[in-house]
Structure 1
C-alpha cells in the first residue's frame, strides 16, 4: 500500500489538543473541506454547462430533439471506450496536475463556446469536456482516502454525493437567471466585445463565462488547499520514494527521480498491461468485483425509471404532471438513505449491507410501480431512492477501502465506464421494451385502443407496456443484489433472514436456545450460599446446565417438588 493510503495528519495547535472546530466535526479534516468545496463548485459548473449547451443546441437547430440527443450522447459515449486508458493515466501521473489541467482545459472550452454557432461544434465541445471530466472524476475519487481517515470514508462519500447531486436542482434556476441577465447586458454597447449580443436565439454566453469561472476557482482550490503539502502521487514519485527507502535500509541501489520518471515514460508503452492488471485485480478481489457488478447491473434496471417515468405517470397514475413529484420522492429518498447511512456507519457491516440494500431497492421499485395511486407509488419510489443513496455511498467506500492507491484510478475509471454503459443501455432499451410489451399486452387483452387491463383477484389492473417494463427493471435490480452477494461470497438469504429475525424478534424455540440478542440472561449462582439438593430427574437432561449469561433456565426444583407424570 502506498504511503498515500492514509491521510497526512494535520499539526495540532500549540496546546497539544487536536483542533475540533465545526469544520473538523462536519467535514472531518480541513483538507477534505477544501475538496468538498471543489466538488460543489465543479459540479455546479458541470450542471449549468450541461443545461446551457442543451438549451443552445435546441435553439440553433431546426430539429431540437435530435440536437439534444446528439449533444447528450457526446457526453456519455467517450467514457465507454476511453475510460480504461484514462484510468491508466490517472494512476501514472500526479493527480494534482491531472485535476488542475482538467479544470483549466474545461474553462478554456467554455470560454470558446460563445463562438460556436453549429450543432456539430457543440458536439465536439461536449466530447472534449467529457474527456477531461473522465480524467478529473477518478482522480478526485482516488484522492479522498488520502485526505480522510479510513473510518470516516462513509461520511466523506456521503458529502461527496451531496456535492455532486444537490447542486442539480439549483443549477437550472442559475442557468435561467444567467440567461435573463445575458439578454439585459446585451443591450449595453460597451459590453459588445463579450459576445453577449450574438444572434443565436436563446444565447447562453453569460452562462458559459460562469462555467469557465467556476472551473478556474476549482483549479485554484485544488492547487492551493487540497494538495498543498502532500507528496506527489505519480508512479515515478512513488517508485523514487520506494527506491530511496530501500537504499536507506541497504535493500537496494539508490536511484533518482529522473530515472524513475524515465521508467514511467517507458512503461507507458505497456498501457494495455496496466489495463489488464486493473481488470485482473477486479476479477481477483470479490468485494471490488461484487460492488462494480452490483452498481452496474442495478443501474440497468433503476435507470429505466428516467425515460419511462412520464409515460408511467400518464397511463398508470392518470396524470402526467405527477412525474416531477416522483422525481422529488426519489431525491428525498436518496437524501434519507445517505443521512441514515452516515448515522449508522459505525454499526453497519458494509460488505453485508451492500447486496441487501441493492435487493431491497428492487423490492421497493416493484412495489411502487405495482401501485395505481400516486401516494403509494411515490412511497415505493421513495424507498428506491433511500436504498440507491445508501448503495452509492457504500459502493464508493468499499472500493476505496479494498483498493490499493496504485490501482484506484483504474478501478474507478472501470466502474464509471460500466455505469455509463449500463445507463446508456437502460435509456435506449427501456422505451423499446415498453413498446414491444405494450403490443403483447394489447394482443393478450384484446384492447387495441385504451390502456390494456387484466383482472387480478377481481380487481382491474392496468398492464400497459411501461408497467411491464418497469416490473422487469425491478427484477433486474433484485438480480443485481443476488449477483453482488454471490460475487462477494456473502449469503443474501442468510442476511435477509437474520435481518428479519432482528426486526420481528425470536420465536419460542430460538428464545429457549438463547441464540438471539433478546434472550434473557441467567444470573450466576452465589458460591457463598449453600446449594440446595436437587431431585434426580427421571431422564438425563437434553442439554447441559448453563451458568452465567445464557439462555433462560427453568427454576430448580425443591426437595418437596413432585416428579412430573
Structure 2
C-alpha cells in the first residue's frame, strides 16, 4: 500500500496551515520574550527601591495579565463568535504590536500596566479566534498531530525566549558606551522584537485570509451577547465529557501553578541555588514537550478519554513523590515525569475539546476554558508562595524516625494530592466506568501496537458490527437512506465482497469456490485481502470526496470472529489490518450486542464488547433486542453530534439539488455467516 508520509510533513504541505503555524511559533516566541521584558522592566524601574517594592512591581505585571480574564473573559469569547475571525486577528495583533512599541517608547511603569491590560484584553478576542480557525483548517484526523505542533511551538518557545533574553542581557555589558551598556537596551530590543512578531502574525492571516473558512456564529441568530455567554457555559456544564475535561484541565493547571510558584523556594531548601531553579524550570518544560510529542504513542490501546484522566493522576503521583525527595537529582527525574504526564493530559484534553464542540460555539467555549485556565494558573502561582510560607516547617514522627517537611515541600505534596484526585475524577467522568484500570493497562501492554489508528481527512466513516448480519444490514441501510434524505452523499458498503476481487474472495469464503475447508489463518488472510482492496477501491476514495461511508463490518469482525472465534492472535490480526488499511479507523462504530443463543459464540460477543470498552470515544454499543426505531434514534443522535463538529469536512447538497448517491448495496456482508 506504500509508505505513508510523515504526519507533520503532510500537514506542513498545506499552505494555509503552514503559514498559520509559522505565525503561531513566531508570535509565541515574541510573547514569552515580552513577558520576560515586561517583568524585567518593572524590576529595573523600581531598582532603587526596596526588594518588597520590586516584588510588588513584578507582581503588578502578572496581575494586569490576570485582570482582563476576570472582567472580560466570557464576554470576549461570545463576541469573538459573532465577529469575522480573520478580521479580529488582524486588527487585534496589529493593536497588540503597537501597544508593545508604546511600552518600549514611553518606558513608564504606569503605562506598562495600562498597556499590558489592553494587550491581554485584545488577546481575549484574538486567541479564541485563532483556536477556532486552527480547528477549521486542520484535517480532522490530523488534529491531534496539529495540536501537538501548535502546543510545542507555544511551550517550546519558553526556553528559547529565556536564552535570547539572557544573551541580550549579557551581550550589552561588553559595550563601553554607557547608552549601549544600559540595562534598558535588552528590554527595549525584546519589546520591539515582540511587536514585530505580532505584526508578522497579522500579515500572515491577511495574506491567507481567502483560504480560511468564514464562519460567523451570529449569522442568522438574534441572541444577545449574554445569552451567548450562558449558552457557551451551559454547553460545558450540560455535556458530561466537556465538564470532566474542564474540571480536569483546571485542576491540573491549579496544581501546576503551585509548582511554578514555589519552585524557587523549594530548590533553595535543596541548596541548589538559582542555577538549580533554572535547571528545574527547563526540566519541567522539557517533560511537557516530550509528553505532547510522544506521550499518546506510548499507550495506544487506551482511549484518549481514559488517557486524559490517567495522565493527570500520574502527574500528581509523580509530584507527591517529588515532594518527599531530598536529593536534587531525583527531584529532576520526577520533575521530568510531572511535565511529561502533564503534556499528555494537555494535548489530549485540548484535542478532545476541538472534537466535542461544534463550530458555532467554539469561540466562546475556548474563551471560557482558556480564561479559566489562565486565572487558575496565575492565582495558584501567586498563592503557592504564600501557602508555603504559612505552612512553615513540619515534621511527622513515625515510631523511632521523624520525617521533616519544609513549607515548599508540603505545598507540593498538597498540589500533588489535588492533581491525583482530579485525575481520578476525570478518569471516571470522561473515560467512563468500564473495565478496571489494571485490566485496561494489561490489555494495552499485551498488544503493544504503536501504529495507532488514523482517521480520515474528509468525509465520515461509520461501521456496524455485531453477531446478527441481517440486523446489521438493516440498520446500516436505514441510516444511509436517512442521511441521503438529509442531503448527504452516502456510500453504503460492506465486507466481504464489495469489489470485483472481493466478490471472488467472498465466493471462496462461502464455500462456493472450493470444497476443502479453509485453515483459520487462510480464512483470516482472505478477509484481510478483501479489506485491503475494499479500502483502496471504495472506502478511502469516497472519504476523499467528502462522502459518508456506512460500512457493514470492518476490522472488529475479523478480530472477533477469526481471533476469539477461531483461536488466532487478536493483536496480530489488528496489526495486520492496520497495515492493509493504512491504519484507517471509523469515526464511529455501532456494535449491536446480541445475547448468545443456540450455536452462538460467547467469546465472539465478549471480544466485540472488549474492543468497544477499550475505546469509548469511537464506539456506540446498543442492545440488539431494542426496537429497530430505538436503535435508529440512538444512532442518529450520535451521528448528528459527529456531523455538527465536522460539517466543513462532509459534503452536503442543498435541498433543491439533492441527488441520491450511488451506493454499493452493502456487498455480500449479510450473506456470509460469521463474516470477517
Note if 1:99 corresponds to 2:82.
Answer: no
- How far does the alpha carbon of each residue in 1:425-470 deviate from its partner, in whole angstroms, 9 at most, with x for none? 312332232233226x2xxxxxxxxxxx444465543212222221
Cross-structure match for 2:412: 470
Which of 218, 233, 240 does residue 215 from structure 2 map onto?
233
- CA–CA separation in structure 2 for the residues paired with 1:524 and 1:413: 51
- The farther-off stretch of 100-109 and 371-380 is 371-380
Note if 1:152 corresponds to 2:105.
Answer: no
Which of 192, 200, 206 does residue 209 from structure 1 map onto?
192
Instruction: Specify the structure having the higher radius of gyration (Cα).
Output: 1
Contact 2:302 2:444 survives alignment (8 Å) = no
Contact 1:88 1:271 survives alignment (8 Å) = yes
CA-CA distance at 1:198 after TM superposition: 12
TM-score by length of 1: 0.73
Which of 21, 27, 30 does residue 15 from structure 2 map onto?
30
Cross-structure match for 1:386: 340
CA-CA distance at 1:423 after TM superposition: 1.4
Contact 1:295 1:395 survives alignment (8 Å) = yes
CA-CA distance at 1:124 after TM superposition: 0.5
- CA–CA separation in structure 1 for the residues paired with 2:378 and 2:89: 26
CA-CA distance at 1:86 after TM superposition: 0.6
- CA–CA separation in structure 1 for the residues paired with 2:411 and 2:7: 47
Contact 1:142 1:408 survives alignment (8 Å) = yes
- CA–CA separation in structure 2 for the residues paired with 1:182 and 1:142: 41
Contact 2:301 2:443 survives alignment (8 Å) = no
- CA–CA separation in structure 2 for the residues paired with 1:230 and 1:550: 46
Consecutive unaligned residues in structure 2, runs of 5 or more: 448-558, 569-598, 607-676
Change over 3 Å in CA distance of 1:21–1:489 after alignment to 2: closer
Relative contact order higher in (CA < 8 Å, ≥ 6 apart): 1
CA-CA distance at 1:161 after TM superposition: 1.0
Change over 3 Å in CA distance of 1:521–1:323 after alignment to 2: same
Change over 3 Å in CA distance of 1:186–1:141 after alignment to 2: farther
- CA–CA separation in structure 1 for the residues paired with 2:121 and 2:420: 33
Contact 1:91 1:409 survives alignment (8 Å) = yes
CA-CA distance at 1:549 after TM superposition: 8.3
- How far does the alpha carbon of each residue in 1:238-287 deviate from its partner, in whole angstroms, 9 at most, with x for none? 54xxxxxxxxxxxxxxxxxxxxxxxx7x75xx211110111111111111
Question: After superposition, where does 1:483-522 map in structure 2 within 5 Å?
Answer: 483-488=425-430, 490-491=432-433, 494-502=435-443
TM-score by length of 2: 0.61
SS in structure 1 opposite 2:392?
helix
- The farther-off stretch of 399-408 and 211-220 is 211-220
Cross-structure match for 1:60: 45
CA-CA distance at 1:503 after TM superposition: 6.7
Larger % of strand: which?
2
SS in structure 2 opposite 1:34?
helix
Cross-structure match for 1:119: 109
SS in structure 1 opposite 2:357?
coil
Q: CA RMSD in A?
A: 3.6
- The farther-off stretch of 170-179 and 359-368 is 170-179
CA-CA distance at 1:336 after TM superposition: 2.1
- CA–CA separation in structure 2 for the residues paired with 1:356 and 1:108: 43
Cross-structure match for 1:416: 370
Question: After superposition, where does 1:319-358 map in structure 2 within 5 Å?
Answer: 319-320=272-273, 321-341=275-295, 343=297, 348-358=302-312
CA-CA distance at 1:22 after TM superposition: 8.8
Change over 3 Å in CA distance of 1:138–1:198 after alignment to 2: farther
Change over 3 Å in CA distance of 1:468–1:144 after alignment to 2: same
Note if 1:301 corresponds to 2:255.
Answer: yes
Change over 3 Å in CA distance of 1:375–1:547 after alignment to 2: same
Cross-structure match for 2:35: 50
SS in structure 2 opposite 1:488?
helix
CA-CA distance at 1:37 after TM superposition: 0.3
Contact 2:60 2:113 survives alignment (8 Å) = yes
Consecutive unaligned residues in structure 1, runs of 5 or more: 1-16, 189-195, 240-263, 442-452, 507-515, 526-543, 552-565
Contact 1:56 1:203 survives alignment (8 Å) = no
- CA–CA separation in structure 2 for the residues paired with 1:47 and 1:115: 19
CA-CA distance at 1:504 after TM superposition: 7.6
- How far does the alpha carbon of each residue in 1:197-245 deviate from its partner, in whole angstroms, 9 at most, with x for none? 89885563332222222111111111113x3233422235x54xxxxxx
- CA–CA separation in structure 1 for the residues paired with 2:144 and 2:244: 18
Question: After superposition, where does 1:151-230 map in structure 2 within 5 Å?
Answer: 151-178=141-168, 201=184, 204-225=187-208, 227-230=209-212
Contact 1:182 1:204 survives alignment (8 Å) = no
